Structure 1
Amino acid sequence: MQEEFLVFHASPVLCGIKAANLFQIRSTDLSYVRSVIKSWEEAIKTCKSCDLKFKLIAKKEKGFLVLAYRNMKLETILEDEETEVFIRNFGYDTENLAKCLNRLAIRLKVDDFPHEIGLFLGYPLDDVKAFIKNKGKNFVLNGTWKVYYDDESKRQIFKSYKESKERCSMIIKNGGNIHELVG
């Protein structure tokens, strides 16, 4: 059950084609949520080369937000010069991923959806900036995120996300485990 939940919410991250996904575990029982995360961490422990991580990032009214992320992919995104300049404006210390994630957690307490979160989720900087400028309107494609530029290539990205979800779901449904997905 918990594996299916993770696959449903984070399969592109499990497969290593997306930097991160944010999702909510609908329980106000913190010890339960921590035990779910621990079970996922245990499931991938045998994968030595895997840099998949989970971070309990915010408490919301009906549960807890969890970030599933690929450490190296997220670091690469945040090392981009334009991205660094952009997120420094929101108070991020771009020299340290852990500090960035802690800052994001603080921002999520203040704002339900701080716009820079898209960068952490692997959305392109140009689309994040256009989303802010257009106040979420005037997009050319609405998929995993609102797309403002280069919609055809992003349509292919969305397709790969969907395919990863289908592939991962089938593996789990046929008795596979999370560690088989994250290699």
Structure 2
Amino acid sequence: MSICNRNCCENKINSSYIKWLIEVLGPVILGSKPAEILNLSSKDMNKESKLNDIKSFFSNCSKLSYKIINIPDGGIRLVFINKDALSITLNNKKCLNFLKFIGYPSNYDLDEYLNILIDKLNSDNFPHEIGIFLGYPLKDVVGFMGYGKYKFCKTRYWKVYGDESVSDAVYNKFISDRAKIKVLLENNSLSELRKVI
């Protein structure tokens, strides 16, 4: 598995921000998490530099794509997407039915669903169904949105409702994939890492 099939990474080999970002995106790169959302604050003095690093590093990446959303306060919201993993997630009949129930088109199309989500992220009303796109268990998304009769249990990266074991398994896979990427980053340069994973 590779992060990128091209030589897009060579000029950012020593970027500590990109190394941190690759670690955070480990579960997305390895496919256990279909997407990740990150914010660059308007107050971040290095916002433009970080954004340039992201554009330089990921512009030719075949494994991940990303969307940039300008938010009203001057910050930037970035959505990183592993389309293969997201396709598997959204092809789950229960997830798809729930998205249709809350207004997504009845004819499923991955790009159209992503565009709807991005449009919602550009609006004033945050789309809480993003949890599905981020790989959280459907029961947790449904519970958080107030549908169903799931009881709140605890908070991980997200709020967990109903059977904790399902959420714990997903969470542990995310943590495991992030740790795998971290080890690879510690033992390889980014250009070497492309050859290893």
TM-score in terms of structure 2 length: 0.72
| Greater mean deviation of Cα atoms: 69-78 or 26-35 | 26-35
Partner of 1:81: 93
Shift of 1:85: 2.8
Q: Which amino acid aligns with 2:63?
A: D
Partner of 1:3: 18
Structure 2 residues without counterparts, runs of 5 or longer: 1-15
The answer to whether the 8 Å contact 1:11/1:168 transfers is yes
- Hey, what's the Cα distance between the residues in 2 that align with 1:182 and 1:98? 30
Counterparts of 1:19-30 in structure 2 under 5 Å? 19-26=34-41
Evaluate the alpha carbon distance shift between residue 60 and residue 173 of structure 1 in structure 2; reply closer, same or farther with a 3 A threshold: farther
Q: Which amino acid aligns with 2:58?
A: E
User: 1:47-71 CA deviation, whole Å, 9 max, x = no partner?
Assistant: xxx5322222443525211111210
Shift of 1:20: 1.0
Match of 2:120 among 107, 112, 119: 107
Shift of 1:19: 0.9
Partner of 1:36: 53
Evaluate the alpha carbon distance shift between residue 84 and residue 156 of structure 1 in structure 2; reply closer, same or farther with a 3 A threshold: closer
Match of 2:173 among 149, 153, 160: 160
- Hey, what's the Cα distance between the residues in 1 that align with 2:195 and 2:186? 13
Match of 1:69 among 78, 81, 87: 81
The answer to whether the 8 Å contact 1:14/1:181 transfers is no
Q: Which amino acid aligns with 2:168?
A: R
In angstroms, what is the RMSD of aligned CA positions? 3.2
Shift of 1:112: 5.5
Evaluate the alpha carbon distance shift between residue 20 and residue 98 of structure 1 in structure 2; reply closer, same or farther with a 3 A threshold: same
Q: Which amino acid aligns with 1:180?
A: R
After TM superposition, what 4+ stretches of structure 1 lie above 4 angstroms from structure 2? 27-34
Counterparts of 1:125-140 in structure 2 under 5 Å? 125-133=138-146, 138-140=151-153
- Hey, what's the Cα distance between the residues in 1 that align with 2:187 and 2:94? 43
Structure 1 residues without counterparts, runs of 5 or longer: none
Evaluate the alpha carbon distance shift between residue 3 and residue 155 of structure 1 in structure 2; reply closer, same or farther with a 3 A threshold: same
- Hey, what's the Cα distance between the residues in 2 that align with 1:60 and 1:17? 31
The answer to whether the 8 Å contact 2:117/2:130 transfers is yes
Identity %, equivalent residues: 27
Q: Which amino acid aligns with 2:194?
A: E
Q: Structure 1 residue 96 and structure 2 residue 109: aligned?
A: yes
Shift of 1:37: 2.9
Corresponding residue pairs, total: 177
Q: Which has the larger radius of gyration?
A: 2
Evaluate the alpha carbon distance shift between residue 180 and residue 56 of structure 1 in structure 2; reply closer, same or farther with a 3 A threshold: same
Partner of 1:180: 194
The answer to whether the 8 Å contact 2:40/2:77 transfers is yes
